[in-house]
Structures are given as C-alpha cells and as structure tokens.
Amino acid sequence: MRVAGAVVVIAVLDGGSGDGLARRFAAAGAAGIMVADLHAGVAEDLAAELDRPGCPVVGVCSDIHQPSDVAALVDTAAKHLGPIDLFCIAGPDGERIVSLAELPGHLDPLAELLALVGDAISEVVPPQRRHVDQPQSA
C-alpha cells in the first residue's frame, strides 16, 4: 500500500480513535488527510494539531453508518484534498484500510465504497458488540 502522496480518509467508529492512524499517515508522507469522528470537536482538534503545508488535515463530525454521511465525506475530501486513495475505518478493536484503487472501474464508485465500508465496520467491531437485541438462531 502506497501512503506517500496519498489522500486518506479516516472514519472513526464510536469507541475508536483516528489519532494513531492520522499520525502514521502524516509521518509516512500522505498528501492530505480527512478525519471523521462521531463526536463533535474530536476530529477538528486533531486536524488543527496535525495540519501542515504539504499535508493538509481536515476534521469533520460524521457518522459513517449513514450512507449519506459517507457520500458527504467523499465529496468533502475531493473538494478539499483531491480524489481519495485510502479509506480507513478505526474501531474500538481494530483498523481496516481500503485502497480505492482496488475498486472495479465499471461499478458505481460510491456504491462499491459503501459496501466496502460496511465490510470494514464488521471487521473492526467484534460480534459481541453488534446489536444484542437480535435473537440467536438455535
């Protein structure tokens, strides 16, 4: 995975942290980073701390469980940083990085990204933390 020169979006799930990922990407030479956190002010504060010439960092409050929020992240990142190269999910129990270069060119990029985001969320949130009100199969 090439990080130098890449535009990276880091979406933080409740209980996760984008701090370590953002610092690693900035140190590795990312061209721009967007951090999206569910809690207001968290991503914005991190962005203010890490923002520098050559690697602008944008922080937004967003819930990536909502397809409309993912679409807004893609649009905002493209507007401020350029096309996204890496989309990352940071959850309470792990991280998942998706390279957008792996998306098939003939599919709707947003639809494919939404599917990958859903898969990434399921990888970083352990089964016991998913909705417990769903009945178990016998």
| 67 occurs within a structural domain | yes
| 93 occurs within a structural domain | yes
DSSP 100: G
φ, ψ for residue 11 (rounded to 5)?
-105, 125
Q: Please state the domain count of the chain.
A: 1
Q: Using an 8 Å Cβ cutoff, are 94 and 70 in contact?
A: no
| 1 occurs within a structural domain | no
Segments of the chain with pLDDT less than 50: 132, 134, 138
Query: How does pLDDT run across 70-108, given as a tens digit for each residue?
Result: 889 889 999 999 989 999 999 888 898 888 777 666 556
CB neighbours (10 Å) of residue 74?
A: 20
Provide the domain limits for residue 98. 7-126
Q: What is the pLDDT of residue 118?
A: 79
123: Cβ–Cβ under 8 A, 6 or more apart, which residues? 89, 94, 96
| 91 occurs within a structural domain | yes
Tokens of residue 84, six digits: 């996204």
| 120 occurs within a structural domain | yes
Tokens of residue 88, six digits: 């990352």
Q: What is the CATH number of the domain that holds 24?
A: 3.40.50.720
| 136 occurs within a structural domain | no
Q: What is the pLDDT of residue 128?
A: 53
Tokens of residue 23, six digits: 């610092």
| 29 occurs within a structural domain | yes
| 74 occurs within a structural domain | yes
Q: What is the pLDDT of residue 138?
A: 45
